[in-house]
Chain A
Amino acid sequence: QLQLQESGPGLVKPSETLSLTCTVSGDSVTNTDFYWGWIRQPPGKGPEWSGSVYSSGGTYYNPSLKGRLTVSLDTSKNQISLTLRSVTAADTAVYFCVRQSRARTFDIFWGQGTLVTVSS
């Protein structure tokens, strides 16, 4: 049974770097059938796809975050990482880890999410 568990600091100061980890159980991040990535949802707003990666190393980023965001895989720990630099209050959100099928089918699995607040 697939499980995605997000973890990281709940509070980050403005201008600093936000780092989150998603631990995968029930599948391997080396599975080439899937993209692994992140969706975030600011308070009171709709979800926003942030970025995805797959095991060959290909990465895809939301243009609104490109330049500040890195999504990567740690195959030794079976984890997905998110690093967002130079954060502001606008980056306050619930961050969800997701797995998406690379085939043209519908297969999107969400983690439960973790709230990150950017504040001094």
Chain B
Amino acid sequence: EIELTQSPDSLAVSLGERATLNCKSSRSVLYSSNNRNYLAWYQQKPGQPPKLLIYWASTRESGVPDRFSGSGSGTDFTLTISSLQAEDVAVYYCQQYYSIPTLSFGGGTKVEI
């Protein structure tokens, strides 16, 4: 089973400032046959299902603002919000889909202002 560890647990950032969220995997999620990292990032606000932001570790979902970016490979990944907006207050989760259908999620990072 692939375990994902997110850090920090919570993060307070001023409006317009950068937020950096981390996700570490217990095993590599890089699939050598296609050189893709099977890692996604979600945003979740209270009372709502998770909303997909990033997949393949760095591909932004359609409609997601370009202030959100993903990076990393293998076991270490980062979600960056380049200029925090009020509407970005949420909990962010990383997810691996390397071992489908088995999925696993990180414990989440809560972003506050």
Chain B residues with CB under 8 A of A54:
101
Chain B CB within 10 Å — which of A35, A46, A54 has the most?
A46
Is residue A79 contacting chain B, with contact meaning CB distance below 8 A?
no
Given A35-B100, A46-B105, A47-B95, 8 more A-B residue pairs with CB atoms under 8 Å apart are A37-B101, A45-B108, A49-B105, A52-B101, A104-B33, A106-B40, A108-B52, A110-B50
Chain B residues with CB under 8 A of A108:
40, 52, 97, 103
Residue of B nearest to A96 (CB): B49
> A104 vs B100: C-alpha distance in the bound complex, in angstroms?
8
Say whether chain B's binding surface is mostly helix, strand, loop, or mixed: loop
> A104 vs B55: C-alpha distance in the bound complex, in angstroms?
13
| Number of chain A residues whose Cβ lies closer than 8 Å to a Cβ of chain B | 24
Is residue A74 contacting chain B, with contact meaning CB distance below 8 A?
no
From A37, A39, A63, A110, contact of B1 by CB (8 A) = A63
Chain A residues with CB under 8 A of B103:
39, 49, 100, 108
Q: How large is the interface on B (under 10, 10 to 19, 20 to 34, 35 or more residues)?
A: 20 to 34
Chain B residues with CB under 8 A of A101:
100
- Contact of B1 with A100 in the complex, beta carbons under 8 Å: no
Chain A residues with CB under 8 A of B49:
96, 110-113
Chain B residues with CB under 8 A of A33:
none
> A110 vs B105: C-alpha distance in the bound complex, in angstroms?
15
Is residue B77 contacting chain A, with contact meaning CB distance below 8 A?
no
Residue of A nearest to B36 (CB): A104
Is residue A16 contacting chain B, with contact meaning CB distance below 8 A?
no
> A61 vs B40: C-alpha distance in the bound complex, in angstroms?
21
- Contact of A104 with B34 in the complex, beta carbons under 8 Å: yes
Chain B residues with CB under 8 A of A113:
49
- Contact of B104 with A49 in the complex, beta carbons under 8 Å: yes
